[in-house]
Amino acid sequence: MNNSNGMKESNIIELWASKYPEVMAWLPKIQAKELSALSLYHFCKWAGKTPTELLAMKQDIRSLEIEKLLDKFVAIPDDVLSNVKKFLRTNAVKSFFKHNYVDIARAAGAIQLVKTKDYNKLSREGLRKLWTWAQNQRDKCLITFVNSTAVAKETLSQIKWKHLEENWQNLDLPSLDLPPEILKGHGKGKYKGVRQITFLTPEAKRDLINYKEWIEQQAGRKMTPEDHIFLETCYPFRPEAYDTLGGQIWQLSKRTGVPFTLHDGRRWVNTALEQIGISDNWAHKIRGRKVRGEDSPYSRPLVEQLRDKFREAVPILEFTSDVPTVSKETLRGEVMKALEEEKMKEIANKYHVSIDQVRTAMRSRKDDWERALREEAAKKCKDGKHCQRIVSENELPQLLADSWTFVATLPSGKCVVSNET
């Protein structure tokens, strides 16, 4: 039963599948072509039939001959043929019939894939070793990319540069907007309308920028929006195939002794999202899964809300260094928050109230707050020497350089500055 006559994934299409038009009509419609072809080959060998003869068993739609054959196959004892192999081969047969427009009873050859191994235990140290040992910029990028975005392996082979947010190189946490056609289910049936909105951590963005520069140098041309992101590393630089992406990571895992698959990246992200207490619906959006009760959940405001929540997970997700990767945007935001916090402490101490009460007052009496500040600023500006001004955030750096002092951030987002000593 295990005699494959030299057939393997690398040669099964050329040596066997290409002989049967029905098989060649089936393979373009599926993703794991080589594995599926090899699985169908093994079933045919066991049944003693060609693919053409398999389809002929259902020539009479009332016949249950193929259904009974599948039931007989899954009844083989597990010590003779593993559960995994039976699962792969029955699924290949059903897919082969389906894409040749021949119906088989759904209950035929029913089998569940039984999990016999625990999930890989992921750690920051293990992921860092994988990343450090990666042999080129593409593989380094691949490691941080999947552990930031939770993009599935079947999507990685189809993702393009156009799926990245515009001006992504200059954004703090760039988003990716992945359409249903390249996600699980391909937008059909219950997967209709499903999109994946996910983000790059600062270290994943750094590695993607480095990889883009590297692959452009290797290929001798600039990448276009229509180019696939993950390419082969040598001429003619074709898109990495679904079947080979997993092999790249398997080789790296084997060299490092760190158990890891591309699917583990999804679990790494999901664990981080759970730790920050994200809602199930938001977690589903980031992982590209169906969201119940929402028809159009991918508006621009929602993306910004998702980004803000995702930011909380960044310290948990990043692993390439003990020192967090901090962008200029994050630093600026932290500085503004610290300055605002100091000013609110001064107000709270002056009036013997809590900082929360100060925040509430600022939110609830926005108009009065700004009016009072403007009137006070006008009074202090009469002598032409000491003055307070309300300015935009963009004006702030130059004023601070000119010896003005930050006073507060208003609910409108504008800033109060003073030149009083």
Say if pTM beats, i.e. exceeds, 0.85. Answer: no
Q: Could you report the per-residue pLDDT of 39-61, keeping only the tens digit for each?
A: 999 999 999 999 999 999 999 98
How many other CB atoms are there within 10 angstroms of residue 168's CB atom? Answer: 17
- Do residues 153 and 246 touch, judged by C-beta distance below 8 A? yes
Q: Could you report the per-residue pLDDT of 113-136, keeping only the tens digit for each?
A: 655 555 678 899 999 999 999 999
Element (H, E) at 214: helix 202-219
Element (H, E) at 390: strand 388-391
**Rounded CA Rg of the chain:** 29
- Do residues 233 and 138 touch, judged by C-beta distance below 8 A? yes
Rounded to an integer, what distance in angstroms lies between the CA atom of residue 289 and that of residue 306? 15
Query: How many alpha carbons lie under 13 Å from residue 47 in its C-beta half-sphere?
Result: 27
Q: Which residues of the chain have pLDDT under 70?
A: 1-4, 113-119, 189-190, 243, 290-301, 323-336, 351-353, 357, 360-386, 411-412, 420-421
Angle between helices 137-149 and 242-256 (to 10 degrees): 100
Domains and their CATH numbers in the chain: 12-98 (no CATH), 124-317 (1.10.443.10), 329-418 (no CATH)
Rounded to an integer, what distance in angstroms lies between the CA atom of residue 150 and that of residue 102? 36
> What is the number of H-type helices and E-type strands within the chain?
18, 5
Rounded to an integer, what distance in angstroms lies between the CA atom of residue 194 and that of residue 188? 9
